[in-house]
Amino acid sequence: MEPVTHLLTGACIGRSGLNRKTAYATLAATLAAEAADLDVFWGFAGPVEELKHHRGITHTFIAIPFVAAAAVGAVWLIHRWRESRRLRNAIPAPPLEPGAPARPGPQPVRWVWVYLSALIAASSHILLDWTNNYGVRPFFPFNPRWYEGSFVFIAEPVLWVLLFAALIIPALLGLSDREITRRRQPFRGRGWAIFGLCGMVLLWCLRWAEHAQAAGLLDNLQVTSEPVKRVALEPYPVNPFRWHAVLETQDFYQTAEVNSRTGSIDSDAQNDAIFKPTDTPAVEVAKQTKLGKVYLDWGRWASVRDLGPVPVSGLDPPQLPGNRSWTTVQFTDLRFDYAFRGTGKASGTSPLSGFVYVVDGREEAGEVMNGREQH
């Protein structure tokens, strides 16, 4: 999932009761819920390195304790800074009036509970990322296989609304209470945080059931003219009943739009068929490049196509003498080759596409992904 969902989930985990055990529980959970995505800094080494390491070692079960420890370390630094600032600016408290109740002191920091909060939130990151169609490799490096649920879109506005409401509504209710009682209720929002997390799970259950319903519809209807070898069902945001299907046969791929509520399947054998490209010498060379190896390791529905001498954004075409030629090889993953905000029919360059220039069918002359050149 994108960072907003991870951060909101971490905040709800902290406020669901862990913040009653120790100070900084919500902060630690929020940081740990997103900390695994620090692997995006591999992007400074180029887009291919970013693809290679994204959802890599930081998104594994073996890394969860270390990711949580990193989040707790950041919280500890914040705690030390706040303590030093408090000591420098310490102002004696005014004396209590006779018979007045003692002022409540600051909530104690119990670092075991802070770490436990971070551990739970770090685990939630892998679970959330598994629900979408990009997938994770939780058992890496012992098992390099990718796993994906493919029933929640990578950016789900319904989750944003649900989790935002779980965090904001208690604060709004607190404002009205203070206007009436002028007292601040500690640890407000536990019930709403639990409500938000339970709502997320219920949405997952609904989408999981509708994903299975859509798969059953495809099993019971002959969509392609050839036997189907495998099927991918990709989610749309907001609408849990709409799915984009990719069906692979021996000779071609065919896409379809499935509505699990109405039971309809929209697919045209002529317009929605994608014939498998022929491997050329340039394609074979491109597969052996750094981009090719990384892409094929990740892209379970990768399609590699020789486009001919077509320039692409982010990389100047090679300048060659007249007796030499070049071609562009495109890498596309069909799981993402659809317009998730529109009709489902892709237009333009597919997200997460890669391109390699190959000279004379035997020599690489540049690699680019998402408009960025890999040096």
pLDDT digits (tens, 9 = 90+) for 74-87: 999 999 998 888 78
Rounded (5°) CA angle 102-14-185: 35
Residue 3 has pLDDT above 80, yes or no: yes
**Alpha-carbon distances, residue 135 vs 1, 75, 127, 208 (angstroms):** 10, 29, 10, 15
Residue 103 has pLDDT above 60, yes or no: no
Task: Give me the mean pLDDT over the 170-198 stretch.
Answer: 72
> CA gyration radius for the chain?
26
pTM (2 d.p.) = 0.88
* Token digits of residue 169: 């509504």
Query: In terms of Cα–Cα distance, which of 69, 79, 59, 76 is closest to 118?
Result: 69
Q: Would you kindly state where each structural domain of the chain is located, as residue ranges?
A: 3-86+108-204, 221-274, 277-374
* Helix (H/G/I), strand (E/B), else coil: 333: strand
Whether residue 151 contacts residue 164, with contact meaning beta carbons closer than 8 Å, is answered with: no
Name the percent of the chain lying above pLDDT 70: 90
Q: What is the average pLDDT value for the chain, to the nearest integer?
A: 89
Would you state the pLDDT for residue 100?
47
pLDDT digits (tens, 9 = 90+) for 254-293: 999 999 999 999 998 888 999 998 889 999 999 999 999 9
